């Protein structure tokens, strides 16, 4: 038996990047999530790359803005590619999100909007 489940709560680090595919039935949203990790001196954020598909991706694109508090549940995967300059195989961890929870209040969202237009 194996289990690959990741649950995170943190703040969105970048505005969502959404991409629709040619067939218009598939959509992906990518964003980063900062999750504070307690240390002796101060809280330091760990940064996670999130990948969200389908209707949940559209919800993320419409409601999860930079600074929003969200919770996600998904699985850990690795993306691999060849470095163009060195030819070395590189990788990065990505959380493939199955569930997205918008945790901030409406007031938080309104306050964030005011900050963006100042």
Per-residue pLDDT tens, the chain, 118 aa: give them.
889 999 999 999 999 999 998 876 799 999 999 999 877 777 789 999 999 999 999 999 999 999 999 999 999 999 999 999 999 999 999 999 999 999 976 555 555 544 333 2
Q: What are phi and psi of 16, to 5 degrees?
A: -60, 145
Q: What is the CATH code of the structural domain delimited by 6-116?
A: 2.40.50.140
What residues does 19 pair with on adjacent strands?
Answer: 28
pLDDT at 55: 93
- What is d(CA 28, CA 104) in angstroms, rounded to the nearest whole number? 23
For 27, list phi and psi in degrees, rounded to 5: -140, 145
Domain residues of the chain, as ranges? 6-116
Reading the block at residue 109, the tokens are 């969202």
């Amino acid at each position: 038996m194996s289990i690959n489940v990741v649950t995170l709560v943190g703040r969105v680090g970048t505005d969502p990047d959404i991409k629709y595919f040619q067939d218009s039935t598939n959509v992906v949203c990518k964003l980063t999530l900062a999750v504070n990790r307690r240390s002796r001196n101060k809280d330091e954020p760990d940064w996670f790359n999130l990948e969200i598909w389908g209707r949940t991706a559209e919800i993320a694109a419409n409601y999860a803005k930079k600074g929003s508090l969200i919770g996600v549940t998904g699985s850990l995967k690795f993306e691999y590619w060849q470095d163009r300059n060195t030819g070395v195989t590189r990788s990065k961890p990505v959380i493939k999100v199955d569930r997205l929870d918008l945790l901030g209040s409406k007031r938080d969202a309104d306050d964030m909007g005011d900050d963006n237009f100042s």
